[in-house]
Structure formats: C-alpha cells, structure tokens
Amino acid sequence: MRKQYIILAFLLLVVGCVHTEKRIEPIPSEEFLVIAHRGASAYAPEHTLLAYEIAQQAEATYIEIDLQMTEDGVLVAMHDEKVDRTTDGTGFVKEYTLKELKLLNAGEWFNNEYPGLANEEFEDVSIPTLEEIFIHFGSEVNYYIEMKSPGIYDEMEEKLIALLKQYNLIYVDKGLPKVIIESFNEDSLVKIHQLEPRLPLIKLFSFKEEAALSVQDYNRLNTYASGIGVNISSVDKHFIREVQQNGLQIHLYSVNDETELKKTLNLKANGVFTNIPNIAVELLKQQIE
C-alpha cells in the first residue's frame, strides 16, 4: 500500500511539473495586422495622442507604443531612452520625474523637421503616459506595446501588467487580443509570460544579413512567444513560410512606402509595422475586392 502512495505522489509531481508549462496565447492568423508604427508617425509627431488618433481613424489593427519609464516609475510612450530627438529637452527619460517630463514640448520638432506637414496642433503637445493613452482610447483600439529597454528600468514588466489589469485590457476582442507585447529583450518577455501567460508575446529580431533561426531558437521561442518581429530587409518568402510552419506568426518592420507595402503584402507574412497605416489598410481592402 505504502509503495502505491509513493508511486501516486511521484505521478502527481510529474503531472504538476508538466502543467506549469504555461499556455502560449495564440494570435489568429486569418487577419493580416496593420500595426501603426509609433502611431501614424508619417503624419504627426510619433508617440503623441494625435499620431495615435490618426492611426485609429485609418482603421489600423493596432497602435504601436514604445515604452520608457520616468525617474518616479511612470510608464511613458517614447522610442528613445533620451528625450533629445523628439522634444525640446535633453537627457535620459529615467532622469526626469513625470512632472518635469510633462513640461517638454513633444511636437515642435516635427514641424521643424517636416515643414510640409507642419501643423499648429503639434506646437503644444506633451509626452503621453501609457495610462493617459488607455484613458483616451480605452477599448476602442488594440495596443501593440514594446518593452523598449526593460534592462534599465526596475519592475517595468510588473508595472505594465498592473496597468493592463487596472484598465481591463487583457482579453480577446473580435478574435484579436486587445494587447500584444513585443521586445528585443527575451528575458523580459519570458518574465511577462511567467507573470501573465494570457498576453501574446512577439520576440523582435534585427538581422544584419539574411534572417535565420535554428531549431533551438524555434524550440525556445515556442515556450513563450506567439510570434516574431523581423526587419523587412532580411526576409524572403521562404523564411516567412519556415517561421509559420514552426507555429509562429511573423510581423515585418517597418514599411513606409506604398510600392514596398504592395510587395510586402505579397510576402504573406502575418502583419506589418508602418508609419502610413491608411495606405496599408487601403491596399488590403483592394486585395480583398
């Protein structure tokens, strides 16, 4: 009798171990995703509410948000670790409190850089927090959020998940996940998968030459990721097919020209990052007609 209990206990242990392998949240492959890269950033200053509104009006499938964090631990939408390129300030985001960061002008640079697209509305815009974006758009849009430099910020993953839960954004809406998380940083993605397996994850890659992944890469990716994001210059149809045959989605970045977008749509990937989401949506409609 004692022997049976030991065997039973051992079996339960094994089953328990197997079952800790967390389920990978799928991203339906039927729909081709138009991901508004930093918002509709060809028409308005990147990572501003205005750029996201234009993306929403263009019916982009997702608005893409790059995340940084302030000195006082607030998640804000910004691509660079420094504020120099897209504001009238200088220095690292992590050296600003939110109050200080909010004093920076995050739109004037766009009017100076693109006089042909200049707009008074861009003269007085600030850097939005992730929370302000959620309050502004709620569940009206889908969010594709990049953990840009998780290695330099404490508990960035926990803060992001807490905010997503606070605004009830972790669910599937009309067949699509309301939120997708992306990063070049695998450790950060694995951590998010452990903390909140309902979030679909995209591992970003930037290949200098031709894109290539090993069997080990695919095995590792399939323990946490729903797909990968790859620079368009490194891929061809074969690599795209190979990724899909290994059970992963593939999203291509970034395609900001109509002719290139047409070619990209023919590659049969699962999504594209673009600064001109309106054009991509239009081309997709034409393809369907």
Q: Residues in the site for Ca ion, rule: CB under 5 A?
A: 66, 146
Q: Do residues 145 and 169 make contact, with C-beta atoms less than 8 angstroms apart?
A: no
- Measure CA of the first residue to CA of the last residue in the chain; give whole Å: 70
Residue number with CB closer to Ca ion (191 or 251): 251
CB of 159 to ligand G3P, least distance (A): 19
Question: Which tokens in the block code for residue 39?
Answer: 């918002």
Nearer to ligand G3P, 239 or 273 (CB): 273
Contact partner, 261, from Ca ion, ligand G3P, none, Cβ < 5-8 Å per class: none
Check 37, 47, 193, 251 and give the catalytic one: 37
Contact (CB, 8 A) for 279 and 256:
no
The footprint of ligand G3P on this chain (CB under 6 A) covers a number of residues equal to: 10
Residue 7 to residues 15, 19, 71, 238: CA-CA distances in angstroms?
Answer: 12, 18, 54, 48
Indicate the residue among 14 and 239 with the shorter CB distance to ligand G3P. Answer: 239
Classify residue 282 by burial, with Cβ atoms within 10 Å: 0-12, 13-18, 19+: middle
Please confirm, yes or no, whether 193 is among the known catalytic residues: no
CA distance 280 to 272: 9
Among 211, 230, 253, 269, binds ligand G3P (CB under 6 A): 253
User: Mask: binding to ligand G3P, 26-65, rule CB under 6 A, as x and -?
Assistant: -----------x----------------------------
Q: Which residue is nearest to ligand G3P (CB)?
A: 253
Q: Which residue in 144, 150, 151, 140 sits closest to 130, CA to CA?
A: 144
Nearest approach, Cβ of residue 182 and ligand G3P (Å):
5
d(CA 38, CA 197): 25
Q: Which does 273 bind (CB under 5 to 8 A by kind): ligand G3P, Ca ion, none?
A: ligand G3P
Least distance from ligand G3P to the Cβ atom of residue 242, Å: 20
- Does 227 interact with ligand G3P (rule: CB under 6 A)? no
- Cα separation of 132 and 9, whole Å? 50
Taking each helix axis as running N to C, give the angle between helix 49-57 and helix 130-137, from 0 to 180 degrees, rounded to the nearest 10: 40
Closer residue to ligand G3P, CB minimum distance, 100 or 186? 186
- Tell me, yes or no, if 37 is annotated catalytic: yes
Among ligand G3P, Ca ion, none, residue 193 binds (CB under 5-8 Å by kind): none
Answer for the pair 76, 68: CB distance below 8 angstroms, yes or no.
yes
With respect to Ca ion, which residue has the nearer C-beta, 18 or 269?
A: 269
Least distance in angstroms from the C-beta of 207 to ligand G3P: 12
Enclosing H/E stretch for 33 = strand 33-36
Q: Where in the sequence numbering do the catalytic residues fall?
A: 37, 79
Question: What is the binding site for ligand G3P (CB under 6 A)?
Answer: 37, 66, 79, 146, 182, 204, 229, 253-254, 273
